Amino acid sequence: MPLPRRLSRELPERDGESVRIAGHLEEYRALGGVAFALVRDGSGTTQVTLKKGTTDPALFATLEGLARESVVEVEGTVSRSTKSRRGVELLPSRLEILSVAEVPLPLGVVDRVPAELNVRLDHRILDLRKPAVRAVFELRAELLAGFRAAFARRGFLEVETPKLLRQGAEGGATLFAVDYFGAPAFLAQSPQLYKQMLIAAGLERVFEIAPAFRAEPSDTVRHITEFASLDAEVGYVTDPEEIRALLEGIVVDAVAATREALLRSANPLASGIPELHPPFPRIPFATAAAALGRGLDDDFGTDEEKAIGERAEREHGSPFYFVTDYPSAVKAGTFYAWRRDDDPSRTGYFDLGFRGLEIASGGRREHRLDRLQENMRRAGVDPARFASYLEGFRFGMPPHGGWGLGVDRLVQGLAGLPNIREARLFPRDRYRLEP
Ligand code: AMO
């Protein structure tokens, strides 16, 4: 017989039925004539109640002294009970130990005292057993499903581009070098060049959800070295506003779908997910800079981003907002960004912010080969090293644009997590390559 899976949640609807559950032993308490075992599976925790006189005495003996977090399988009858947490208990007739946990646990699963994040991440498999931690990954999975559905509705094709590259696209400082059979190669910082090449290939609307790698030496709560990048690229757009409207619609749909799914599954994070009322405010870079009393020469820092987010919330009542019309000076290294023909000091680039956190950046690209090569040279990039990328522009490239969105940052924001590392199962940063 196959082992039972994720049954705990269904028990309240199965009163009187004989069932088998399996999971981790959260706790075992014997109080005179009765004993309680809490068994946690992938859907919740079930109270198993053993009663002297009714329950086989051998079952008490099996559980007595069994280490917490050992794995057990329990067969029994579901019975309504006002005293148990979820209004239902399991009266066991058979019990089997599937795996004994070692003692002591390096990290408690039900401890009241919160452990430090580093200790939690060192022992992530135990940390992930906590329902509140699992809730984050249920949110994440719903969000990704919501994004995929939103892209599908708009006719996008899901693609996968290579992560081992000969060239980077986002500047040399954050490139991870790897030894590729004795030759130098790099881990992809972004699918940027490939998603543009797919527009040249005539695919018109593509998206990708895949890891991106950045050698971020800074230790912050919003940077990791491996993050999930949700990238989109769209052909035949010329006005950056068309790209913003697409991104806005997709985010609104995905966040709404996530909220609904979490409400349905009674996920505790559901209440923190905002109901969105588009349009999101569009704040020109120059307006945001003026409000902060600063110039247009470099990008906003963390505190400035926070101030812009607070202002958007206060003045427009929106947790999401666009910062538009990035100055060309700020995007000098972004050679693929289109500079406005009527005002070359501004690009068609924007950021999407969520509560003071930059979530996405994107815009219109330069699709004209001569101008692109000019941008490259100005950025100190040798076009000769990008021959296969440029081939796309030599043989018919539609005007196009797109964006890259940091999934981990969005999950961090939606789940209200203080640190981005908590939004990934096994995060990577400068100091962490394990587990
Ligand atoms: P950018 O470099 O702004 O743009 O990255 C896009 C988004 O990715 C997320 N992000 C990160 N998340 C966690 N840790 C990091 N180290 C990290 N770096 C970036 C952010 C950011 O907004 N090619 C362009 C996108 C485009 O133009 O289409 C790009 O990569 O949420």
Q: Give the domain-ending residue among 99, 116, 136.
A: 99
For 256-304, write each residue's pLDDT tens digit.
Answer: 999 999 999 999 999 999 999 999 999 999 999 999 999 999 999 999 9
CB within 8 Å of 154: residues ≥ 6 apart: 205, 246, 249, 250
Assign 133 a pLDDT band (cuts: 50, 70, 90): very high
Q: Looking at residue 1, what is its pLDDT?
A: 63
Buried b (16+ CB within 10 A) or exposed e, 341-372: eeeeebbbbbbbbbbbbbbbbbbbbbbeeeeb
For 399-424, write each residue's pLDDT tens digit.
Answer: 999 999 999 999 999 999 999 999 99
Residue 45 φ then ψ, to 5°? -120, 135
Give the domain CATH number at 340: 3.30.930.10
Q: Give the domain-ending residue among 51, 82, 99.
A: 99
User: Is the residue at 431 inside a domain?
Assistant: no
CA–CA distances in Å: residue 207 to residues 194, 320, 431: 11, 21, 31
Give the domain CATH number at 15: 2.40.50.140
- The reply to whether 401 and 333 lie within a common domain is yes
- Tell me the longest C-alpha to C-alpha distance in the chain: 88
For the chain, the straight-line distance linking the first and the last C-alpha, in angstroms and rounded, comes to 33
Count of structural domains, the chain: 2
- The reply to whether 51 and 177 lie within a common domain is no
Among the listed residues 248, 342, 343, 361, the one whose alpha carbon sits nearest the alpha carbon of residue 299: 361
For the chain, the residue count is 435
Alpha-carbon distance 435 to 120, whole Å?
A: 11
- The reply to whether 223 and 360 lie within a common domain is yes
- The reply to whether 149 and 33 lie within a common domain is no
- The reply to whether 246 and 366 lie within a common domain is yes
Distance 227 CA to ligand 1 centre (A): 9
User: Is the residue at 219 inside a domain?
Assistant: yes
User: Is the residue at 107 inside a domain?
Assistant: no
Pairing of strands 357-364, 205-213: unpaired
Distance 54 CA to ligand 1 centre (A): 61
Secondary structure, 3-state, 387-429: HHHHHHHHCCCCCEEEEEEEHHHHHHHHHCCCCHHHHCCCCCE
Alpha-carbon distance 392 to 398, whole Å?
A: 10
- The reply to whether 94 and 172 lie within a common domain is no
- The reply to whether 89 and 173 lie within a common domain is no
Of 73-87, 139-153, 298-312, 358-372, the poorest mean pLDDT is in 73-87
- The reply to whether 246 and 134 lie within a common domain is yes
Q: Looking at residue 244, what is its pLDDT?
A: 98
- The reply to whether 87 and 231 lie within a common domain is no
For 4-38, write each residue's pLDDT tens digit.
Answer: 777 888 898 899 999 999 999 999 999 989 999 99
For residue 417, the enclosing domain spans: 128-423
CB within 8 Å of 180: residues ≥ 6 apart: 164
Probe target for ligand 1 pocket from 409, 412, 428, 432, with the most ligand atoms within 8 Å of CB: 409
User: Is the residue at 151 inside a domain?
Assistant: yes
Alpha-carbon distance 255 to 411, whole Å?
A: 10
User: Is the residue at 165 inside a domain?
Assistant: yes
- The reply to whether 197 and 302 lie within a common domain is yes
Answer whether 186's CB lies under 8 Å from 165's CB. Answer: yes
Which residue ranges have their beta carbon within 6 Å of ligand 1? 170, 190, 192, 214, 216, 223-224, 227, 229, 231, 358-362, 402-406, 408-409, 420
Residue 356 φ then ψ, to 5°? 85, 5
Distance 333 CA to ligand 1 centre (A): 14
Q: What percent of the chain has pLDDT over 70?
A: 99
Pairing of strands 157-158, 164-165: unpaired
Angle at 190 (CA atoms; ends 185, 192), nearest 5 degrees: 105
User: Is the residue at 117 inside a domain?
Assistant: no
Residue 109 φ then ψ, to 5°? -90, -35
Q: Looking at residue 32, what is its pLDDT?
A: 85
Probe target for ligand 1 pocket from 199, 208, 227, with the most ligand atoms within 8 Å of CB: 227
Distance 78 CA to ligand 1 centre (A): 50
User: Is the residue at 205 inside a domain?
Assistant: yes
Alpha-carbon distance 316 to 14, whole Å?
A: 48
CB within 8 Å of 275: residues ≥ 6 apart: 256, 259
User: Is the residue at 379 inside a domain?
Assistant: yes
Q: Ligand 1: which atom is nearest the Cα of residue 362?
A: 27
Q: Ligand 1: which atom is nearest the Cα of residue 405?
A: 7
- The reply to whether 152 and 70 lie within a common domain is no
- The reply to whether 310 and 391 lie within a common domain is yes
